[in-house]
Amino acid sequence: MPPHDVSAPPFDNAHGRPSGGSAPTRRTLRVGIGGPVGSGKTTLVGSLCRLLRDEISMVVVTNDIFTSEDADALRAANVLPTERIVAVETGCCPHTAIRDDIAANLDAVEELEARHGDVDLSLIESGGDNLTAIFSRGLVDVQIFVLDTAGGDDVPRKGGPGVAMADLLVINKVDLAPYVRADVERMLREAGERRSGGPVLPTSLVEPEGASAVAGWIREQIAARVASLG
């Protein structure tokens, strides 16, 4: 596939594995989390760690261009033991590091999984990017794209690969919708249309349980993966 060909659906959603590929051999489910700058990706990662860390073994890779800001924030918030969170400083466009030249991210996630042995779930947060940014299927098994109400309620309708092809679309900051005059129902409806009915979940991550539906979706992906491992 040429580097920017995004015409093919990247994933087989039902099984959490590359479409057209054979059954997975790796135990760990790798989940990419992408979306525009400031939509709530790091907040979602932190919320998922709090909700899932007592039942499964998790690690996190964050991407920033020149800093380790997101990893530092997650460590400071104590969402996981610090050695389970690694920062990749991409030094380049976030899209490049998750799709076109994934070596640094692949090294980071493989090293974390090898070090911790029993990892059920690896979360890889992309640097904030535009609507075309999606993960290579060589790096993740499934991916979540995060939009937010404050980014404009016409964004789902504009579509693009992140909106259309991610395995799960999250529309975050629904608590802010009244203040920015965003119509959440419209966002959910138009996102559903762009995704041909693929899953879309509204979230408000200022609530302690705000990511529980997303955590439930991840549990289903892990269960499907374990089942397909036999």
Ligand X SMILES: Nc1nc2c(ncn2[C@@H]2O[C@H](COP(=O)(O)OP(=O)(O)OP(=O)(O)O)[C@@H](O)[C@H]2O)c(=O)[nH]1
Can you give the binding site for ligand X, defined by CB under 6 A?
37-43, 70, 128, 172-173, 175-176, 204-206
Cα within 13 Å of Cα(43), Cβ side: 20
Q: Which is nearer to ligand X, 122 or 172 (CB)?
A: 172
Residues of this chain, 61-90, that bind Mg ion according to CB under 5 A = 70
203 binds Mg ion (CB under 5 A): no
Contacts of 84 (CB under 8 A, 6+ apart): 58, 59, 60, 112, 116
Minimum distance from residue 206 beta carbon to ligand X (Å): 4
Minimum distance from residue 180 beta carbon to ligand X (Å): 10
Distances (CA, A) of 24 to 53, 73, 89, 113, 131: 23, 32, 29, 16, 29
Q: Which is nearer to ligand X, 93 or 206 (CB)?
A: 206
Q: Which is nearer to ligand X, 182 or 224 (CB)?
A: 182
Contacts of 225 (CB under 8 A, 6+ apart): 15, 16, 17, 24, 27, 29, 141
Tell me the residue nearest to ligand X as measured from the CB: 128
42 binds Mg ion (CB under 5 A): yes
For residue 22, the one-letter residue type is S
Minimum distance from residue 36 beta carbon to ligand X (Å): 7
Which tokens hold the place of 12?
């087989």
Q: Which is nearer to ligand X, 16 or 125 (CB)?
A: 125
Q: What residue ranges bind Mg ion (CB under 5 A)? A: 41-42, 70
